[in-house]
Chains A and B, each alone.
Chain A
């Protein structure tokens, strides 16, 4: 028969050895620059267990070429969520590296309580791209103030793409109170057919149970 029974002896010993070693912050910072992605992933996991490890991990992200290592860093940061983590990740909303920027957005979406105090500031950022990314973060955030923030965006933001992102989000989280603001937006961007379409669709969706 081709089937043979597996054993776990060597793997168990290896796991015990890993658990027994407890490297220092500086050892881990060195490991994080190793050529071997598996070692960098392990270093990232261990660094996340130390409060001083958060800035090291946030800083390392922009130099890290391997998706698998960045993924472990992001997951570790989500797990140890804090204001320090949010501040360490927000900078990547301005990154030219699309993959890293999207990973940062996804990670920030996973820490709703920690990102919430920063939302108003991000929604008023001078860069329209950052405001769009802020709306993207908001689009999945379980934040009770989301409709209020989005109303402000569609009433005040001058950029059509920022408003379009907010309309898309309001279609899900909007309340009947959103309809007046959406109608005002319709007047403001009446010469953009896609906005008219998106606004009408959002109003219809919000009014679904009226």
Chain B
């Protein structure tokens, strides 16, 4: 999650009192699992005041009551969007990829035989940075990778981004966290100061269009061992989150893992999975 760019507020815009800030943070945490500490007060206050202005509420009390009691939840969703601006790049939230190669894959390997298939699914995969990061981490960081057939599936509801993912061309910004020697091994320069990922890697990943809330569509995916579903469910309402978690439960193999985004908490969605700490990451496992 990254701070959204502040926009201009009118000079007379009021600020939140300490009590209002605390009240808002408690409510927002309960609804989303996102914690804002005191040092984020300016960020939170700016976003809330912007939303108050957009929704023509003259006081925090009026705005809070509107968000709190609005059954449809439209303003709540706008608030979530304002508080969370996501961007995608290679090796994003890499502590989860460390957990993948140091904990999840070795754990799965113990229950499988050499030559078995390990299925990993990146959902949503957007323009491909996540599934390619997974592939690179496995090839670079798991010494038993050659003992298994590792399938990486990558899906998104947006077919346009899937086209870009399959093409695998990225600018400097998306690659900024990749060490130079890794970049040299997996990317080649192309026109426009961009880099294209190795064809062998592009062809090894199965890209497909998937709508998470379409249960029939999701039935095409089963026996998944590791599912990366990061920064998607925060945009769903409570019911859709529950349904998505139950649908994913059917997709996962017993003992399979789900990785959520750092601002998402399973405890607010479902009690189906057991939380596990692996290194710096909290992941969730199907019993």
Residues of A at the B interface (CB closer than 8 Å) are 1-8, 11-12, 14-15, 18-19, 38, 41, 45, 67-68, 71-72, 74-75, 78-79, 110, 112-113, 140, 142-144, 146, 171-173, 175, 204-205, 207-209
Contact = CB atoms under 8 A, between A and B. Distances in A.
Given A3-B152, A8-B208, A209-B59, A142 B68 contact: yes
Contacts of A7: 206
Contacts of A113: 71
6 contacts: A3-B201, A11-B219, A15-B216, A78-B242, A172-B68, A205-B22
Contacts of B30: 140
B38 interface: no
B235 interface: no
A71 B23 contact: no
Interface string B15-48: 0011110110011001000000000000000000
B150 A2 contact: yes
B153 interface: yes
A45 B27 contact: no
A140 B68 CA distance: 9
A14 B219 CA distance: 8
A188 to B, nearest CB: 25
Contacts of B117: 4
Nearest to B67: A142
Contacts of A3: 135, 138-139, 150-152, 201, 204-205
A209 B17 contact: yes
Given A11-B220, A172-B27, 13 more contacts: A2-B138, A3-B152, A4-B151, A6-B151, A7-B206, A41-B246, A67-B271, A171-B23, A172-B26, A204-B19, A205-B22, A208-B23, A209-B19
